[in-house]
Amino acid sequence: MPVRIDLMRITPARGEPLPLPAYATEGAAGLDLRADAAVILAPGERALVPTGLCIAIPLGFEGQVRPRSGLALREGVTCLNTPGTIDSDYRGEVGVILANLGQKPVALARGDRIAQLVIAQVEHAELHEGVSLPPTGRGAGGLRPHRKVAEGPALHPGRDRRGRAHRGVAIESGHADVG
């Protein structure tokens, strides 16, 4: 069953009403969002592009703002902070943070499709602090071991290099240890 999303257009409007966000195909995961203002992005530039819409996402859901693959491939334009999250209690105008990663300026017209909005269910977590975590086959691995991610001594769970107890995270040589 579809999730009901209430929305409204901002007032005063920036021009003639744009089409509401819509799925381009039956199998599309995201609703197309459109620019409500023209913008020119120079190479390396970023801008918050308005959509002209305010939405009410139900509690237990979020809106994920994602890049459009065609715009990224053709023009080098993508969304920063991807996916951007629209919380269920946000009621302001939806804006899309776009960046031009290409080599030439990109002009976007009012009404151009600039991003996708995916509605996703979310769960709230209940955190429990402890002194250790259940073991797994992977352990703390994940980052490439040849990359030094942060400066400083490596910490080991529960003890520093002098054997003193601690709580914290240190990253060195691509591995994170939690104590």
Task: Confirm if 37 and 49 have CB atoms less than 8 A apart.
Answer: yes
Amino acid 162: pLDDT:
58
Residue among 67, 74, 126 at smallest CA distance from 99: 67
**Model confidence band, residue 173 (pLDDT cutoffs 50, 70, 90):** very low
Average pLDDT, integer, range 60-69? 97
The domains located in the chain, with CATH, are 6-121 (2.70.40.10), 144-179 (no CATH)
Q: Tell me what the mean pLDDT of segment 68-94 comes to.
A: 95
Q: Is residue 176 over pLDDT 60? A: no
Helical (H) or strand (E) element with 95: strand 93-100
Mean pLDDT of the chain: 86
Q: What is the predicted pLDDT for the residue at 170?
A: 44
